[in-house]
Each structure stands twice: as structure tokens, then as C-alpha cells.
Structure 1
């Protein structure tokens, strides 16, 4: 049954996987994540590698390498339990695979370890995950427009995301937030975003920490009549975010989007009746 579910999930996400083939970030990530496996199994290269196997076969994994790869699999499975999108699953796999590759290369040859580690640093500095560029009904605020928009019409409810372009969590959440805006955006319920990393003063004013240690990015804040009503994730006494999963189902439930949407449609209908009168 698990095999059938996996096959169905693969074909369901096949269009997204196919698109990855045209993005250098994913191509390079796949190559770097599987670098040790390729080197250890590639004929013509593996014969020159060191090995601790009793049979002396340099083209097969020794027991310590198998142990590291099994530990990698366990870590990725645990981390992906909270992953929402396919991009988050892939991001966890790439990140921990590179860490495992660094350990394996250093164990094999310190020179290979240093070379691979330098490649990882260069990759992080020069190649970023592709930003979401799909359809959305989202208003992008600046430090000069956010207060004006939130207080312009007190009948409008705003759901605002505080994000930063450097945050992988924000990048993974972007398609989810865009999809919600397509489903629920209307005259009385609007969706907005502001770059907390760029507009630090706005983030401080709305008490959203941009520190990676605080884990408050992304933050979703619900505004009604220009005032904050609720936010997720919540923040504890130490100014650290309380763990919360940014799934579409959780957001719809916690923010009562179905009820807000129905109420917002009534506001729109009332406006139209007033104009007709």
C-alpha cells in the first residue's frame, strides 16, 4: 500500500518535478547531494579510492559509510514529517545530503573534503532557490504604504505576511499563501506581504523579529479595523516563536478564513445594494 501511495504521489507531482529540470539550482543541488555516491560507484574513479572493506573493494560502501547514509535517511524522514510543499521536502533532502557528503569526503580524503566544502560555500553564495512567480492576489507593502492601507477602510480585513527573501521557510510558504489569496481574496478580505528583512523598522513596530534564532519568519498577522487581532506563530516570553505548521489547512482553520470570506462577501453585496439605491 505504501509503494502504491508513493507511486501515485510521484505522478501527481510529476509536472513540478519536470519543471525542476529547467532550473540550475535543482540540477546543481541534485549533483552535489549525490556527489559521493557517484564518485564511489563510478568506474574509472572508484578504483583509486581508499576503503575499509574487508574484501578491499573500493567501488562499494564500507560499513561506516552505510551507517552515515542510514543516519541521513532517518534525519530526512524526521524533518520531512513537518514539510508541507514539495520544495520543502527537496530542500531538507538537499541540505542534509550535503552535510553527509562533507563528512563522507573528509573521512575519505581530507583534500576531497576541503574541496567539496569549498564548493558548498560557493554554491550557497551564488545559487539561490528560485522565487515563486505564480499567480496571486497579494498587495506588496512598503514602510510608507502599510499603515495607510491597513487603516484606509476599516471594513476590510487584512492578512499580512511578514517575510524575508533570505529565509527558506518564507520561500517555501510563498506558493501556499498565493494559493490562499486566489481562493479567498475579495473586497472585504485582502492579502498583503511586506519584506521584514528590508523594512526593519516596520518589523520592529509590529513586533516581528527578523533574527534567524527567533524563528518568527514567516509571520501571518490578521488585521481588522487597522488593529492586530491574531498572529501565527505566537511568541513566547523569550521572544521565540511557538512551533506552528504553515499548512493551508491550519491557516484556514486558525484564521477562520471560510467565515471571514462569507462575511466579506456580505460587505461587498451591501456596497452594491447601496450603489444601486
Structure 2
């Protein structure tokens, strides 16, 4: 029964899988991750490779190459234990596969190693992971608008993500945060994002380190009445982020989103009785994002 369910789920999501695979970033990443495997197994090419096998067959892996590939599998499995999205799983696989390919190519021929390493550098500089462009109800702040929006209405609770476009963790977290905004956004509970990689002064003002070593990206901060109430991940005395998994379940539990959402409905009802409720705002839990009334915000294309 479990096998049948898995097959049905695979065919149900097949259009999404095709759409995901046909993006240039993923196609090139798959080819580069499997480069040594293709070279070692491709007839006409493998005959020119060196080998340490006793039988002298250049089209099969020798014991050292098998050892490197097994070590790669173990590292990917350990790293993917904390991955929460398919993009994170794929990102870990691509990154460590390229590292293994560099080692394998250098073992084969230093010229091949240098060539492949140069390709990896060129790929990183020119081909970026695709940004999430799906439905969401998130306001993108700028350096000039974040303080104004957070203090505009003291009854509104804001959950703000501090992120940077260059961070793979932030890119992987984007679909999760967007899904939360679709489920919980309403008049009294709003979701926002600010690119601290672009606005360094905002990062300093809200004490979010953009250093990769600090591991504070992404950071989720809950604001009530314009003041910070809590943030995840927490930061220790050495300004290092305490390890925390950015899963949807953890965020709902830690930030008490269900309770905040229920409280926000009461705020909406109170405003409606006074005739102040804005008809352009979405209903609680609305699945479709709606335009915000007279509130300029940055789009994703500006990031």
C-alpha cells in the first residue's frame, strides 16, 4: 500500500518536478555533479583515463574512487538530516558532489582538476539558484520604510524575516515563509522581509549579523507595538546563533502563530464595528495574496 501511495504521489507531483528540473541552474548543477561519473563510464572517453584497478579496466572505479564516493554519500546523508525542503536537499547534494569531483579530477590529472575547479568558480559567479516567485502575502521593506511600518499601528503584530539573497539558507526558507504568510496573514498579524545584505545599516540597527560565520541568516523577529518580543535563532554571548531548525512546525509552535491569529481576528472584528476595516485586506487565512492599500513596498525584482 505504501508503494502504491508513493507512486501516486510521484505522478501527482510530476509536473512540478519537471518544472523544477528544467531550470538552467539545476540542469547545470546535475551535469557538474555527475561529471566524473559520466567521464569514467562514457565509452570513448574512459579509455584515456588512468586507473589503479588490478585488471586495468579504465571504465570502472578503482577502490580509492569508491571510497571517496562512499564518503560523499555519508556526508550528504548527515547534512540532509536537518534539511527541510527539497531545495536544501538538492543544494547539499550539489555542493558536496562538486567537492568530491574536484578531488577525483585532481587525482586523475592536475590539468583536469584545474579545469573543473575553474568551471565551478565560473558557475558560482554566473549562475545563481532561482528565487522563489510563488504566491505570498509579504511586505518587502526598505531602509526607509521598516521603522515606519513597524510603528504605524501598535495593534498590528509583525513577523519580519531578515535575509540576504546570497544566503542558500534564506533562499531555501523562502517557500516556507511564503506559505506561512498565506495561512496566517490578516489585519492584526502581518509578515515582512528586509534584505540586510543590501541594507547594512538595518542589520546593525536590529543586531543581525550578515557574516556567514555568525549563522544568523535568516533571522525571524516578532514585533509587537514596534518592539522586538522574540527572535529565532537566538544569539549567545559570543554573537553566534544558537542552532535552530526553520521548519514550519517549529515556527508555528515557537511564535504561537495559532494564538496570535485568533487574537488578530478579534482586532479585525473590533475595527469592523467602527467602520474602519479596510475591504482591500484579505480575510483571515486567505490563500490568495491581495494588493496592499496605499503602502509602497519593494518587489522581488528589486531585491
In structure 2, the CA distance between the partners of 1:273 and 1:22, relative to structure 1 (3 Å rule), is closer
Native 8 Å contact 2:140 2:299 kept in 1 = no
The alpha-carbon deviation at position 158 of structure 1 amounts to 0.1
- Secondary structure of the 1:152 match is coil
Deviations 1:205-252 (A, max 9, x none): 111001111000000000000000000000001001000000000000
The alpha-carbon deviation at position 21 of structure 1 amounts to 3.0
More displaced, 248-257 or 18-27?
Answer: 18-27
The alpha-carbon deviation at position 16 of structure 1 amounts to 3.2
The alpha-carbon deviation at position 81 of structure 1 amounts to 0.5
Native 8 Å contact 2:41 2:59 kept in 1 = yes
The alpha-carbon deviation at position 108 of structure 1 amounts to 0.7
The alpha-carbon deviation at position 3 of structure 1 amounts to 7.3
In structure 2, the CA distance between the partners of 1:11 and 1:88, relative to structure 1 (3 Å rule), is farther
Q: Which ranges of 4 or more aligned residues in structure 1 deviate by more than 3 Å? A: 1-16, 272-277
Deviations 1:72-105 (A, max 9, x none): 0000001001001110000000000000000000
- Secondary structure of the 1:60 match is coil
The unaligned stretches of length 5 or more in structure 2 are: 272-297
In structure 2, the CA distance between the partners of 1:140 and 1:106, relative to structure 1 (3 Å rule), is same
Deviations 1:112-168 (A, max 9, x none): 000000000000000000000011100011111111100000000000000000000
The alpha-carbon deviation at position 177 of structure 1 amounts to 0.3
Native 8 Å contact 2:161 2:194 kept in 1 = yes
Alpha-carbon distance in structure 1 between the residues aligned to 2:77 and 2:35: 21
The alpha-carbon deviation at position 58 of structure 1 amounts to 0.3
Native 8 Å contact 1:20 1:27 kept in 2 = no
Alpha-carbon distance in structure 2 between the residues aligned to 1:274 and 1:71: 39
In structure 2, the CA distance between the partners of 1:8 and 1:91, relative to structure 1 (3 Å rule), is farther
Alpha-carbon distance in structure 1 between the residues aligned to 2:73 and 2:9: 19
Give the aligned partner of residue 257 of structure 1: 257
Tell me the C-alpha RMSD between the 2 structures.
5.5
Is residue 295 of structure 2 the alignment partner of residue 274 of structure 1? no
The unaligned stretches of length 5 or more in structure 1 are: none
Alpha-carbon distance in structure 1 between the residues aligned to 2:299 and 2:71: 64
The structure, 1 or 2, with the larger RCO (C-alpha pairs under 8 Å, 6+ apart) is 2
More displaced, 19-28 or 247-256?
Answer: 19-28
- Secondary structure of the 1:58 match is coil
The alpha-carbon deviation at position 7 of structure 1 amounts to 5.5
Alpha-carbon distance in structure 2 between the residues aligned to 1:113 and 1:276: 38
Alpha-carbon distance in structure 2 between the residues aligned to 1:35 and 1:96: 13
Deviations 1:24-73 (A, max 9, x none): 00000000000000000000000111000000000000000000000000
In structure 2, the CA distance between the partners of 1:159 and 1:30, relative to structure 1 (3 Å rule), is same
How many residue pairs were aligned? 277
In structure 2, the CA distance between the partners of 1:274 and 1:23, relative to structure 1 (3 Å rule), is closer
TM-score w.r.t. length of structure 1: 0.95
Give the aligned partner of residue 41 of structure 1: 41
TM-score w.r.t. length of structure 2: 0.87
Native 8 Å contact 1:46 1:59 kept in 2 = yes
